[in-house]
Amino acid sequence: MTIRHVLLDADGVLQSVPGGWLAAVEQFVGDGAIEFLEQTWAEELPALRGEGDFLAEFTRAVERRGLDVDAAEFYRAVWNAIEVAPESVDLVHQLRAGGYGVHLGTNQERHRAAYMRTVLGYDDLFDVSCYSCDLGAVKPERAYFERALDQIGVPAAQVLFIDDNVANVEGARAAGLAAEHWELTRGLPELWSLLAGHGVEPGR
């Protein structure tokens, strides 16, 4: 089948945290930032599936560490410190103008997902947004991709998935999607080349 839909990851493909996650957390935690971040990401997993409230878990993590900081402010300063790459947004617009369906495929807990939907305007940017917290499954699980395809409403063979995580790319391929590994640091010309390799070009 011909590729008619592109499913894009968010972090690393569409957006980034300015200066990186570690630097953002260091402002609040100091030398223990790596440990705090790794532990926090591990505790975030249930919320990525839509189970529980990550902000509540995050608040407990801040309290356990005895940090003299408002947990909600800490959360917003890091998890909502999102820099959207204008070149990736332009790519989305070009593909949609060319008749392709362009969709968001991302692992997010509900608070960050809500911020992305509304403040960043992703509900308007994409045809379909597939947040893990809504699907009840996370990349690279097969269930995530199957449920995303149900939302998009097309066969796997019509969808090309782009992600900066190799495991997620492999998971997508195992679920029958075409998939490529790419991240913002590699530059948009390389992404356009990957897309063209699957016959995805505006005007085609």
Domain boundaries of the chain, sorted by first residue: 5-16+83-197, 21-79
Which residues, at least 6 apart from 148, have a Cβ–Cβ distance to it below 8 Å?
7, 103, 105, 130, 135
Q: Give the pLDDT score at 198.
A: 97
Q: CATH second-level architecture of 5-16+83-197?
A: 3-Layer(aba) Sandwich (3.40)
Using the structure block, give the residue that is written with the tokens 């690279």: 140
Q: Give the pLDDT score at 1.
A: 74
Task: Report the distance separating Cα 83 and Cα 120, nearest Å.
Answer: 9
Q: Give the pLDDT score at 136.
A: 98
CA nearest 198: which of 165, 143, 169, 159? 159
Of all residues in the chain, what percent carry a pLDDT higher than 90? 94
Q: Give the pLDDT score at 133.
A: 98
Q: Give the pLDDT score at 195.
A: 98
Residues of the chain short of pLDDT 70, as ranges, are 203-204
Judged on CB neighbours under 10 Å (0-12, 13-18, 19+), 153 is: exposed
Task: Report the distance separating Cα 193 and Cα 147, nearest Å.
Answer: 28
Torsion angle of the four alpha carbons 24, 122, 115, 106, in this order, in degrees rounded to the nearest 10: -60
Q: Give the pLDDT score at 202.
A: 83
Q: Give the pLDDT score at 29.
A: 92
Task: Report the distance separating Cα 177 and Cα 155, nearest Å.
Answer: 9
